[in-house]
Structure 1
Amino acid sequence: MSSIAGKVGCTTETLRRWCREEAGRRAGPAAQAASDRDRVKALEREVKELRRANEILRKASAYFAQAELDRHGKW
């Protein structure tokens, strides 16, 4: 860093700061895109789980409704 900073005409710390800022700019959108992909994946898993739970509840409701009708029919 110090040899390059001398050639560019700035201090070593200035060059280091520029490098960090540029690395942050380059990683920003990519990191955010990866974060968004992870979030979408998690939400898709949650939707799948909720649909499965709804199906189970729908079947249980139908089963108990039928059992209730059968029970009243026997009286």
Structure 2
Amino acid sequence: MFTEFDGSSQSPPLKAAADYELTVREVEILQLVAKGLRYKTIASKLNLSDGTVRNYASSAYIKLGVHNREEASQKALDIGIIH
């Protein structure tokens, strides 16, 4: 038998990935950061400068409300950007 669940004891849901207004490139950078790649390696892989990759990462971190790559990776996992 199922019991009725009113959700009152549940935490509020996390914001969806789209709610953070991340660009496609920011998501791409976050996915690579979460794999443990260094900015220099990401830059080479995407044919971007190291500074450009850092700018994308910084922008994504601000939008996610995180301060470093570890926090960003965890948040990206939590909201479904990475699996």
TM-score bin (small chain): 0.3 to 0.5
Which structure: larger Rg? 1
State the TM-score, normalized to the length of structure 1: 0.35
